[in-house]
Chain A
Amino acid sequence: MENSALEKVASQVRRDIVRMVSAVNSGHPGGSLGCADFLSFLYFEQMNFNAESFSMDGIGEDLFFLSNGHISPVWYSVLARAGYFPVAELGTFRKLSSRLQGHPSTDKKLPGIRMASGSLGQGLSVAAGAAQVKKLNGDNGIVYTLHGDGELQEGQIWEAAMYAAANNVDNLIATIDYNGRQIDGDVEDVLSLGNLAQKWQAFGWEVLEMDGHNFADIREKMTTAKSMCGKGKPVVIIMKTEMGQGVDYMMGSHKWHGVAPNPEQLSAALAQLEESLGDY
């Protein structure tokens, strides 16, 4: 896909995000906006999947697990825009009886979601298990995950990191949303991750670094990551992003992690984001 086309997808996804969270005055716009480019690329160029007839088992498909479930708005928007369910359904986000729960769930049967997430740190284990079963089934699909950088403070992530390397789970590509922010402030101040690349390398992973807002770089690194699959090691991509990317007053701070824009703020945000594919 042309970079210009990907930019149009990501712009519409950003509009969806701010409209969804503003409509219910809740949700997490900051990290969602920061991952809009990455998830747009993943679903519109990188992954092989069947959106029209979603199957839980995803045999023969690539799989994606969102481990930092609080950025559900970006995932819901991308899933809808990729054809998993009608975009009009984005208007039900966080409302009673909606399939678009505050954090992703499987119980309402929203196509595209294979595992609940929200309580942090669990997605890498799940992905490693799904990846091992793909191997057992002779399925060449790749398993992708996304994690927050703050989420890496959870111990289970490192249990899974140790396991995946020790067991040569080499059909697994994990991405870290390295925006340096979490609810209480900068990750560096709350609980420093230290040298993150060295940590993953020491755990036995292939490590790539990527600019999460540059489609040329995303394409290059994701292509490299895919080419590393099947060679004995899991792959992690440390993706530099800006929380709130695309909405000027949300950038450069942790304050929009979990706060929704009011109607005036929403107007200001929408003025900065092209309605490229039509609002829901």
Chain B
Amino acid sequence: MEFEILGNKDTRSGFGEGLAELGRTNPNVVALCADLTGSLKMDAFQKEQPERFFQAGIAEANMIGLAAGMTIGGKIPYTGTFANFSTGRVYDQIRQSVAYSQKNVKICASHAGLTLGEDGATHQILEDIGMMRMLPNMTVIVPADFNQTKQATIAIAEHNGPVYLRFGRPVMPIFVKPDAKFVIGKADVLTEGTDVTIIACGHLVWKSIEALAILKEKGISAELINMHTIKPLDAAAILKSVSKTGCVVTAEEHMMNGGLGEAVSQVLSRELPCPQEYVAVNDSFGESGTPMELMTKYGIDTQDVVNAAMKAIARKG
């Protein structure tokens, strides 16, 4: 159960590297940004492929419409802005011009969740996974670290259809191997265990890895699944694991309403009812603070995963 830390980087930089690589390898990939090129790490693509980079300015609704139109003629548009402005601000544009119209647009969203930090609640969206997974035709991906974000960025170009790709700002440990293959909809089982299944996405995968060590000291054998694809959800992986462990913890940097936990509970309530505990933000906006302070205050930190695991196991009776 040892995880080798391969380095420390932000997931948004994984997106930037993946996009730059796509620029060199796939002539159909175009990119659009709403005045956040530096924050999204889209500079390399912009510099190397100036004719395929479109600066939309601070006009996100127009950017989504432009991207939808750019699919007509065979391009694969990647839009980049903060998660808040990638979803809530443009929900109707995504709904009609992208999801309903089945356009091959990749909506790439940085600074998701609380770990955007000091900017505070106006920018800390915690509802985006819910909004995006409610849309028919939409694929929702929340990669766990720098390497996986880069791999996912490249992989979604090969998927014909709308994708929401969510990543973040803080520097976090890298543990996914640089040569790992990213398969949409296929969960990564990181550790095998027998007492509890922990299903996590995004930054909470690392927090859950930290929790594994604490649980091990308590003599608890936890199975950890990196559920990088929220939709389509790998139900087979969930059922296989939970049928062995008998209880589950879901962990995400998102509102409890509408998130990964709810998606998992939809599978389990129908197929395999069992105790489930949620590590997620409970019906609350965030606030200013450092990313790690916020994760602690809002109950999505390492210790919260540990506590949830203990509680789920206790509820097995």
Report which A residues bind B (CB closer than 8 A). Answer: 56-59, 63, 65, 105-107, 114-119, 121-134, 136-137, 139, 155-156, 159-160, 162-163, 166-167
The size of the chain B interface, using a CB distance under 8 A, is 31
Measured CA separation A56–B70 after assembly (Å): 12
Measured CA separation A133–B30 after assembly (Å): 10
| B62→A159 contact, CB < 8 A | yes
Q: What residues of A have a CB within 8 angstroms of the CB of B63 in the complex?
A: 125
Distance in Å from the Cβ of A169 to the closest Cβ of chain B?
10
| A163→B57 contact, CB < 8 A | yes
Q: Which residues of chain B (266-298) have a CB below 8 Å from chain A?
A: none
Q: What residues of B have a CB within 8 angstroms of the CB of A131 in the complex?
A: 69
| A130→B70 contact, CB < 8 A | yes
| B52→A130 contact, CB < 8 A | no
| B102→A106 contact, CB < 8 A | yes
Measured CA separation A275–B157 after assembly (Å): 50
| A122→B73 contact, CB < 8 A | no
Measured CA separation A17–B101 after assembly (Å): 25
Measured CA separation A113–B228 after assembly (Å): 35
| A57→B54 contact, CB < 8 A | no
Identify the closest chain A residue to B27 (Cβ): A136
Q: What residues of A have a CB within 8 angstroms of the CB of B73 in the complex?
A: 57-59, 130, 133-134, 136-137, 139
Identify the closest chain A residue to B74 (Cβ): A57
| A115→B68 contact, CB < 8 A | yes
- Chain B, residues 85-101, CB within 8 Å of chain A (1/0): the string is 00000001101110011
Identify the closest chain A residue to B54 (Cβ): A132
| A155→B61 contact, CB < 8 A | yes
17 interchain pairs, CB-CB under 8 A:
A107-B101, A107-B102, A116-B96, A116-B100, A119-B92, A122-B96, A125-B65, A125-B97, A126-B69, A128-B66, A129-B66, A129-B67, A132-B54, A133-B73, A136-B52, A160-B65, A167-B54
Measured CA separation A123–B51 after assembly (Å): 23
Distance in Å from the Cβ of A66 to the closest Cβ of chain B?
13
Q: What residues of A have a CB within 8 angstroms of the CB of B30 in the complex?
A: 133, 136
| B93→A122 contact, CB < 8 A | yes
Known: A126-B65, A132-B66, A159-B61. A118 touches B72 (CB 8 A): no
Measured CA separation A40–B101 after assembly (Å): 25
| A125→B52 contact, CB < 8 A | no
| A117→B96 contact, CB < 8 A | yes
Measured CA separation A164–B178 after assembly (Å): 40
The answer to whether B190 has its CB under 8 Å from any CB of chain A is: no
Q: What residues of B have a CB within 8 angstroms of the CB of A56 in the complex?
A: 72
Distance in Å from the Cβ of B87 to the closest Cβ of chain A?
16
Identify the closest chain A residue to B62 (Cβ): A159
Report which B residues bind A (CB closer than 8 A). Answer: 30, 51-52, 54, 56-57, 59, 61-70, 72-75, 77, 92-93, 95-97, 100-103
Identify the closest chain A residue to B52 (Cβ): A136
Q: What residues of B have a CB within 8 angstroms of the CB of A155 in the complex?
A: 61
Main secondary structure of the interface of B (DSSP, over half): helix
Q: What residues of A have a CB within 8 angstroms of the CB of B52 in the complex?
A: 136
Measured CA separation A63–B70 after assembly (Å): 13
Identify the closest chain A residue to B60 (Cβ): A159
Q: What residues of B have a CB within 8 angstroms of the CB of A117 in the complex?
A: 96
Q: What residues of A have a CB within 8 angstroms of the CB of B97 in the complex?
A: 115-116, 122, 125-126
Measured CA separation A147–B70 after assembly (Å): 20
| B72→A130 contact, CB < 8 A | yes
Most buried by B among A57, A105, A129, A155: A129
Known: A122-B65, A128-B69, A132-B66. A159 touches B59 (CB 8 A): yes
Q: Known contacts A136-B30, A137-B73, A156-B93; can you find 8 more A-B pairs with CB under 8 A?
A: A107-B102, A117-B96, A122-B93, A129-B72, A130-B69, A130-B72, A133-B69, A163-B57
| B62→A125 contact, CB < 8 A | yes
Identify the closest chain A residue to B77 (Cβ): A129
| B67→A118 contact, CB < 8 A | no
| A115→B69 contact, CB < 8 A | yes
| A129→B59 contact, CB < 8 A | no
Contact of A136 among B75, B93, B101 (CB under 8 A): B75
Measured CA separation A107–B68 after assembly (Å): 15
Known: A59-B73, A119-B92, A122-B93. A107 touches B65 (CB 8 A): no
Most buried by A among B51, B63, B67, B73: B73
Q: What residues of B have a CB within 8 angstroms of the CB of A126 in the complex?
A: 65-66, 68-69, 97
Measured CA separation A79–B95 after assembly (Å): 25
Identify the closest chain B residue to A106 (Cβ): B101
| A57→B57 contact, CB < 8 A | no
Measured CA separation A162–B58 after assembly (Å): 11
Nearest 9 Cβ contacts at the A-B interface: A125-B65, A129-B69, A129-B66, A159-B62, A133-B73, A126-B69, A159-B59, A130-B69, A129-B70
Identify the closest chain A residue to B68 (Cβ): A126
Measured CA separation A134–B30 after assembly (Å): 13
